[in-house]
Every structure is written in structure tokens, then in C-alpha cells.
Structure 1
């Protein structure tokens, strides 16, 4: 029997996603677990893997189109059936396939009946033609022109948020449907034109508005949520890092792939959790969840925002292995190639701005983590040792902690354990 593949919920809580690219074509035979498409969400682009084996009978969504989770995107012929039989079977399933997403959101689409889901007729569908349309809803007729605009609920909402008039827009999607890239093009054109208009109205007060990307909105939403729902408190410590820098130099002289200071920091974080295991926990609505392993998220700057891929089991892995994982995750993060499981989970984050010369800063906790360590640049400065003034190399770190999980004394114990590991770096390797 034909299998209708639907847009997956590639990230927890996501309601919409865009198909960035197909990795298969009609007629291809696919296996379970084989990547078949790249799906773009607010956070990242992830590969969607097939959950069943078969032959691709039809691809229902064009690349660049944003649809709701649960929308049919492809038809798969299974159990040895022919492509033609799969298409006929999918056509018979079309009313049921399109009804479910609409029923789940009655309020939002009450004024916009779905174009797909026509009353089925005996004639077979040669290429599953009605199936792509559940992604789009018909907007009310324009009072000015009487023309009907076709767009998804997401596009309608974004147009309202951006104040865009779509009356005269011809969409670039299937059948002239207005898709998100059309809105982005309109917003970019409006932003380019706006400074001239503003300069005329108010001399010397020109500006340029850049439309928010999905990632920028997601970052804003999550950080506001963090600062308004998590009781942050902060602890600061200075670490002497002369011994660490000497050890790093010795290690890098004997290997081809270089170890960074941040790699040592991440391993020291895991070692500190081994010293103070009660701190390796997060807050949940049901209780405090304590972890056996140490999974650490690494803040990675990318164009237009940041991602936080998670390195698993840092406490059980060698320094070189951790370094390679961080490097590989960072590269794929910048290329938008992270998978769902690589950006979720963990109990703690590390954010390092030392490479930019930043000496000290405080970071915002990344929910649901209970803490984040902000790492500044190592710098030479005067220090007092045994009542004598010396020049030392110091790295300042700031722990942002969730007071629901970490009390002051527990957070202080953990930070002291981290400093001890950093200042005695050989202990990080054993």
C-alpha cells in the first residue's frame, strides 16, 4: 500500500518547516534510515531520514516551500507495488490526508478553506496533483481586485506582521502560490527603499530595517524566555593558565590536528561535574533531573545567529576525541547541516569569546540547561603570590547558574572544582 510521507516535526515544538532540498528523485529506491530531504527550521537545517523502504512515486512539495508539520510531502510505493498503483492509492487517501492538519487548527483557518481535499471523483490522479495543495490555504478575495490569493497560514501571518500588501503579488510557488521567499524579497526591497524616504522626512535620520529571520526570532524568543523564567545568578573566577598553555603547546607539537584552549575548557567542565556530580542536573516540572554522563552544548557563531550543538559523553572521551567532535559539529553548524539529536539535550553550555579579545562577560542560560560558563581571553596581568607582585596569565570565567537547581554553595563548589582542573591541566587528561 502507498505510504504518504508527511512533513516531520524535526525539532520539538516546531509547527512549520521549509523543504530546503530533496535528496531523492521520483523512481529512486530508498531504504529505512536513508536521508531523503533537507528540512529547514528556525534553528537549523536537518536531514530527514526515511522511516520506511520503498520507491519514490511522487514528490509533492517544491523546494523553498514552507508548510505545516503533518502536511503530505511525498508518496512512497511499498511492498512491491508499482508507482502507478501507489499514485492511485495516494489519490484515494487524499481527502483523509488533507483533513487532519485542518482539523487541528480550526480557529486559525476558519476564514480560509483549504484548497486541497476536493470531493474525490472516480477518475484517477495521474500525478497526485491535489496532494501538494494542503500546504496552501485560500485567502479571502481582495476587495480591490476580486482575485483570490493563495498562501499558507504561515505566509499570511508573516505578511501581517511585516505589514506587506500582497494584493498585486504573483507567487513563485506552484500555481502562483505566495511562498515565504516572496515575502523575504518584498521585505528586502522595502528595506532598501526605506532609508531614502526616511532621509527626506527627517534630515540626517536615515536607517535601514533588516527583516528578522526565523533563527533571529527563535533566538530572541528563547533568550527572553530564559531571562524571564530562570532565576539567574552569577559567580566569577580568575584562572591561572600558564600550565595549561604549556601543556597545550607540548600536546600540539606531537599531533597534526591542533587542540584549542576551548577543548581543554570543555574537558575541565566535564571533570568538574565528575568532582561535583550533584551539579550535573536540570530543572523539570516534575522534579530535578540528574545525569550520569556529561553532555555539553558548545555555542557556535554562524551567519545571522548561533547554534549550540551538544557533545555527548565528554566525561568518557579523550581530549583529542572531544576536540574532533567540537570541530566537526561547528563546521556542520556553520553549513546548516546539524541533525535534530545534535542540537537537543545536555545539562550545561560553554560560550567562549576569548578569541575576540573579550576579557569577561556573562552569558544567558540556554534552556533547559541549568548553567552556562562564559569564557574570556587569557591575558597577562599583575597578580599577588605570597605577598609578592608577579606577572601571570589569567583567564576570567563567569558561571551563570539556575538557582532553582543550583544553590550558591553548590555552584561555588563546582566553579572551584573547574578552576582546580584548569590550573592543574594534567588532571584533565586522566
Structure 2
């Protein structure tokens, strides 16, 4: 019998994704392990492999379709041992059809495809000429809306249901429950901002899945996590001197340490020395981590992602440098695997290379802290009771006050400062 190819869950928290590109076409023969499609999740674009052998008889979801729910049928495969049967070609299902079908389906059965209603009103002449999905046209005609001036946000500029909702001033508030490494947690719905009515020249830029996730998670963090901010000024001269000496010895191995590599190590060691800050708040419980896994903020074209350096306290500086370079490269190519960016016990965000002196970072739940690193700059500084010029950076720790007391956060910042100002401890 025909095999249903369903939208896979490529990470523990994935609920929907974008079918970025098909790597096969109808009529192609596939074997187990063959690449079928590229799926864009909220963090990366991942390849989807075939499990069964057979012939691709129908592609039901067009490439470029977003909002495809996990478990929705995206294609059909005829098993090699099955008796071939004529298949009537079907038009690719659009994003809004996939969403409604997946929501209506039971876990063990696929709901029938929606059929056009004979009672649907005839579309207006204006809307017939625009590039829009059938559902979008039907809703627009029912509401008497003219789509000729609407900029579509669907594949290839196609007008979809969300565009019609925005035109009529309606919005839909998604409710989702996502898992985290602190355990399942129900998330409150986040209302979408109202559509903006403006005559200022502009273009509508469709949000990527990553940008949508960033917007949701940061909003939830600021709404639900009571932040406390603690800032210290850290003298960098000794660390810069040690970095120069280490790089001279590592040059033959093709390794060049960055200041950020050394700060990652310092953060890992500080968390192990002040374990009360290496925690996650989990309702009636708190997770106390025995290892410091550091999430490193990396800017990518579609937003921000945080690949993880595991067990940073026990890795050499050269190992951290090599890992960060490799992870950052694959992050920018969208090729990270879920286990490489999900988890972590604390984060570091460094904007010093862009000249930012000091900033407050938003905690990445379920983590309970993040370190915001500013630029190292020449400043008047008291050295051995005398005024001197030193290279100094401002570092701000953001702490989840539900899990970390101010005194413990202050102790952590003190230890971090000492590790950076006396950096031989980073190589001991």
C-alpha cells in the first residue's frame, strides 16, 4: 500500500517547519538513506532522509511552504513490492491547508483534504487576477476585500491567509507548549502585534522561523524571568599579554586564540567555582548542573543562534578555540545539529568587537544567567594605588533572580574578574 511521508520532528521542540527544498521529484525512485528534502526549523536547515524504498508518486506540499505541522503528510511513496496503481496528480497543498489539516487530524490517521465548497461565493474580478491562494481569495471575497494592492508573504510573493487577516485587522495568537532541558512547561500565548497602517514607503519582509522563535522566546524571558543585572570593570592587560604568548606557540598548529575563547574558559571555571550560579529554575525544583556547558551567541543572516561548548571548564584553550570556530562556521551555514545548540547551562554574548562599551543581555531560558561582554578600551585606571592607563572592559551578568540571589551573582562576577585579571589560572 502507499506510504505516507510525513513532516518529521527534527528536534525535541519542533512543532512546525518550512519545507525549504525538495531534492526529489514525482516518479523518482528512492532508497533508504536517500536525501528527500531540506527542512528549515527555527534554528537550522536540515536534510530529511528516506526510511522506506519505493517510487515518489505524489508531492503534496510545495517547496517554500512554511508553517507545515509535524506529522502532516507531505508526499506519498509507492512501495517497490506494491502493485503499481494509477495515481491522479494533485496540486501541492499550500501552507494554510497543511496547518488546518494537521490540526484536525488524529495522531493515527490523516484527515481528508479539504474540498472546495459548492456554496462558496464566486470571486470578484479583481481578486481573480491577483496571485493568491484559493483560501485567501475565498476569505477576501467573503469580506469584500480587494487584494490587488496587497504584498503577499507566501512563496514567490503569493498572498496567503495571514495577509488577508492582516488586511482585515485580524490576527491569530498561537498557543504552544515546548519542551526544554528543564522539563515540559506550558507557555502562555503571545499576541501578535496589530497590523501597521502606514503610508511611509516600505517593503514587507517575511520573518524566518528563527526570527519568529527569537521574538517569542525573548518576549517570554522578559515577561516571566525577573532579571537582576550586575556589572564589573575587568582589566585585560595580563590576559592580552598571555594571549600573545600562547598564540606565538600555537601558530605552527594553525590555532589562533581570541579573547572570547579565553572568556569562555573563564566563564566555565567561574561557574564551577560558584555552583549556585550554574543552575536552572524549574518550578518547584531547581536543576544544579555538575558541568559547565557554555552557549556562545553567534550572529547569522537569519538571526542569532547559540552553539554550545560542552564542559568548557575542563577543555584546553586550544580545544575551545577550534570548537568555537567550527561551530560558528556551521551555524552560519545553517548546518548545526539540534544537540549542538539546544541545552547549555549559561550563555556569553560578546559585542566588544563592534565597539559596544556595555549592555544588558536577555537570559535564554531555561538557563539562569548570561554574560554580556563589552569592548576592551584604554581607560584611566588605578594600578598599585597610582593612576595609570589600562585596557579595561565592562562585563554585565544577567541573573534569574528566582534561582540566583544577588550575593551569589556578585560572588560569581568577582571570581570571573579574578580569573581574567590573573589569567594563568586559565591554563593551569
What range describes the TM-score normalised by the shorter chain of this pair? 0.7 to 0.9
CA distance in 2, matches of 1:147, 1:210: 20
More helix by share: 1
CA shift for structure 1 position 180 = 7.1
Which of 380, 385, 389 does residue 387 from structure 1 map onto? 385
Residue aligning to 1:65: 65
Q: Deviations over 1:204-232 (max 9, x none)?
A: xx553543513433322222211111000
Aligned length: 369
Any idea what SS the aligned residue of 2:376 has? strand
Residue aligning to 1:319: 317
CA distance in 1, matches of 2:118, 2:243: 62
Distance 1:104 1:381, change over 3 A: same
- Kept after mapping to 2: 8 A contact 1:46/1:340: no
- Kept after mapping to 2: 8 A contact 1:137/1:151: no
- Kept after mapping to 2: 8 A contact 1:115/1:138: no
CA distance in 2, matches of 1:217, 1:99: 20
- For residues 97-116 of structure 1, the aligned pairs below 5 Å read 101-103=102-104, 116=113
CA shift for structure 1 position 309 = 2.2
1:74 aligns with 2:75: yes
Any idea what SS the aligned residue of 2:358 has? coil
CA distance in 2, matches of 1:103, 1:141: 24
CA shift for structure 1 position 56 = 5.2
Distance 1:30 1:311, change over 3 A: farther
Distance 1:381 1:168, change over 3 A: closer
CA distance in 2, matches of 1:408, 1:229: 18
CA shift for structure 1 position 357 = 0.9
CA distance in 2, matches of 1:350, 1:101: 38
- For residues 169-188 of structure 1, the aligned pairs below 5 Å read 179=155, 181-183=157-159
CA shift for structure 1 position 166 = 7.2
Residue aligning to 2:20: 20
CA distance in 2, matches of 1:232, 1:324: 33
Q: Which moved more, 1:20-29 or 1:332-341?
A: 20-29
Residue aligning to 1:46: 45
- For residues 79-228 of structure 1, the aligned pairs below 5 Å read 81=81, 84=84, 101-103=102-104, 116=113, 141=121, 144-145=124-125, 150=133, 167=147, 179=155, 181-183=157-159, 198=199, 206-208=200-202, 210-214=204-208, 215-228=210-223
CA shift for structure 1 position 403 = 0.5
Distance 1:369 1:170, change over 3 A: closer
Q: Deviations over 1:390-412 (max 9, x none)?
A: 22111210000000111111112
- Kept after mapping to 2: 8 A contact 1:267/1:314: yes
Give the TM-score taking structure 2 as reference length: 0.73
1:251 aligns with 2:246: yes
Distance 1:235 1:100, change over 3 A: same
Distance 1:316 1:37, change over 3 A: farther
Distance 1:72 1:280, change over 3 A: same
Distance 1:67 1:426, change over 3 A: same
Give the TM-score taking structure 1 as reference length: 0.72
CA shift for structure 1 position 352 = 0.3
- Kept after mapping to 1: 8 A contact 2:2/2:78: yes
Q: Deviations over 1:124-180 (max 9, x none)?
A: xxxxxxxxxxxx999954553598974579x999x9xxx9967569999xxxxx747
Distance 1:98 1:388, change over 3 A: closer
Structure 1 alignment gaps of length 5 or more:
89-96, 106-113, 119-135, 173-177, 191-196, 199-205
Residue aligning to 2:179: none
- For residues 224-373 of structure 1, the aligned pairs below 5 Å read 224-253=219-248, 254-255=250-251, 256-373=254-371
CA-based RMSD of the aligned residues comes to 4.1
Distance 1:318 1:81, change over 3 A: farther
CA distance in 1, matches of 2:344, 2:157: 34
